[in-house]
Amino acid sequence: MFKFDKEYVEKSYELAKKTYAAYGVDTDEVLKKMDAIQLSVHCWQGDDVTGFETDADGISGGGILATGNYPGRARNAEELRQDLDKAFSLIPGKHRVNLHAIYAETDGKHVERDEISTEHFERWIKWAKERKIGIDFNGTFFSHKMADSGYTLSSKDNEVRSFWLRHGKRCRKIAADIGKELGTPCIINTWIPDGSKDLPADRMIYRKILKESLDELFAEKYDKNYMLDAVESKLFGIGSESYVVGSHEFYMGYAVKNGLMLCLDAGHFHPTETISDKISSLLNFIDEVLLHVSRGVRWDSDHVAILSDDLLAVAQEVKRSNSFDRVHFALDYFDASINRIAAWVTGSRAALKAIMIALLEPTNLLVEEENAGRLANRLALMEEFKMLPYSAVWNKYCLDKGVPVGTDWLNEVAGYEAEVLSKRK
């Protein structure tokens, strides 16, 4: 495979810089802007969303399913952090880590979800502090016997509903503690699986209950410097094909009304519907948007993110609306059929590439043509800009950040697999 040495990378960068300058884009500035970009990297790619609960029972309740049995899954928090460290060493820039409540460390003791607290995340906090990175958080409302009915916060069963309410409240407190400890607001995203396989007779009742539950869940106000709440909608899932209580309309309404962040997961809409066009609408009514960068293949399959037209369109929308301070990029996919470090790195690098390509776009020139009514030129320029030498800028970025350039990172993954992952039985 082609080996990019330092001289080659520097020389190509100088040429690319000239090309971009001719279009009015300063590539050095773009490299600086990349420093401010933080992805929220999901810990759950490392262990197939299993978590460390003593009675982890896989698919039970909630329909979250990672398929595949590639060897080397992280079996405990130590291994998961070690794997994340490896992945981070191959991803340019400094990024956050996204945790779920099931990643609590309870030292072998069974601690129910409505009893977890910040102490169970102390090692994660210490680890993040040492690396000077932020942590984001999620309550885990699935893979649990109390989710077996298919309903959690919208359950008609008060025992079930209050159990999940207690869980959700604990998670918000944990998130606020994390944000305070780390000095960067912890985004806590609430996604629940509630819905039904077949046609419900009364769609309204569950949504009414969910609204009441959310009002109670979010009643306690926390300092925005410590934590920020987001809510995530969905269209359908495994076991909730006919009806999802927390649909897009439901949560968009709720977020607008209550000043929360809305989470758009790329896999949670109709298969041909994209999330890019939603950003400029939402930002007129809510302060911030959380993105779950994912790739649905025919359905909400959570394939590893790639540099697709869809992902690029999302990054372009954020760039063109100058909203990088209001839109948060989190990754959300889980593939258990390939090397999990490679899955993390491929998706993270894809998201960063999309953001960089968008930042390098000579947007002003497009807007100029648009405003002058020269729409053929606008289209033609968009096509021409697809061929600009962004790969040279990307390679320079990787070089500057001290991570492998080009395909070199694959050797690192292979070495890690031989030395570490293959020994996990």
Which residues carry out catalysis?
191, 232, 234, 265, 268, 292, 300, 302, 332
Q: How many chain residues interact with Zn ion (CB under 5 A)?
A: 3
Give the whole-angstrom CA distance, residue 381 versus residue 371. 14
Among 332, 335, 361, 369, binds Zn ion (CB under 5 A): 332
Q: Which stretch binds Zn ion (CB under 5 A): 52-60, 62-70, 89-97, 291-299?
A: 291-299
Looking at 198-206, 231-239, 307-315, 348-356, which segment touches ligand RNT (CB under 6 A)? 231-239
Query: Total binding residues for ligand RNT by CB under 6 A?
Result: 11
Distance from C-alpha of 180 to C-alpha of 163, rounded to nearest angstrom = 26
Provide the minimum distance between the beta carbon of 46 and ligand RNT in the complex, in angstroms, as a whole number.
Answer: 12
- In the bound state with Zn ion, the residue whose beta carbon lies nearer, of 233 and 316, is 233
Sign of the CA dihedral with 164 first, then 166, 170, and 176 last: positive
Taking CB under 5 A as the rule, which mask of x and - marks residues 242-281 in contact with Zn ion? -----------------------x----------------
Distance CA 1, CA 368 (A): 41
**Near ligand RNT by CB under 6 A, which window of 25-33, 50-58, 229-237, 310-318?**
229-237
Closest CA to 95 of 173, 29, 43: 43
The CB density around residue 286, as the number of other CB atoms within 10 Å, is 19
Q: What angle do CA 242, 246, 252 make, to 5 degrees?
A: 125
Q: What track of x and - describes contact with ligand RNT for positions 136 through 155 (by CB under 6 A)?
A: --x-----------------
* Closer residue to ligand RNT in complex, CB, 177/232: 232
| C-alpha closest to that of 408 among 70, 21, 2 | 2
Burial of 166 (0-12, 13-18, 19+ CB in 10 A): middle
Q: Are 351 and 292 in contact (CB under 8 A)?
A: no
The least CB distance from residue 265 to Zn ion, in Å, is 4
CA distance linking residue 384 with residue 420, whole number of Å? 45
Q: Residue 355: what residue type?
A: I
Which residue, among 396, 402, 397, 398, has the nearest Cα to 7 in the 3D structure?
396
The CA radius of gyration of the chain, in Å to the nearest whole number, is 22
Which is nearer to Zn ion, 296 or 406 (by Cβ)?
Answer: 296
Give 120 or 295: the residue with its C-beta nearer to ligand RNT.
Answer: 295
Which CB atom, from 151 or from 191, has the smaller least distance to ligand RNT? 191
Pairing of strands 295-297, 299-303: antiparallel
- Within 10 angstroms of residue 32's Cβ, the number of other Cβ atoms is 10
Q: From the list 48, 53, 265, 369, which residue makes contact with ligand RNT (rule: CB under 6 A)?
A: 265
Task: Please identify which residue in 120, 234, 278, 349 interacts with ligand RNT, judged by CB under 6 A.
Answer: 234
Residue nearest to ligand RNT (CB): 191
Instruction: Give the one entry of ligand RNT, Zn ion, none that residue 163 binds, where binding means its C-beta sits below a cut-off of 5 to 8 angstroms depending on kind.
Output: none
β-pairing, 96-98 vs 39-42, is parallel
Q: Which does 49 bind (CB under 5 to 8 A by kind): Zn ion, ligand RNT, none?
A: ligand RNT
Which residues face 371 on adjacent strands? none
Residue 302 interacts with Zn ion (CB under 5 A): yes or no: no
CB atoms within 10 A of CB 386: 11
User: Cβ closer to ligand RNT: 294 or 395?
Assistant: 294
Identify the helix (H) or strand (E) that includes residue 264. strand 261-265
Closer residue to Zn ion, CB minimum distance, 261 or 405: 261
Positions in 274-293 near ligand RNT (CB under 6 A)? 292
- The binding site for ligand RNT (CB under 6 A) comprises 44, 49, 64, 138, 191, 232, 234, 237, 265, 292, 332
Q: Which residues bind Zn ion (CB under 5 A)?
A: 265, 292, 332
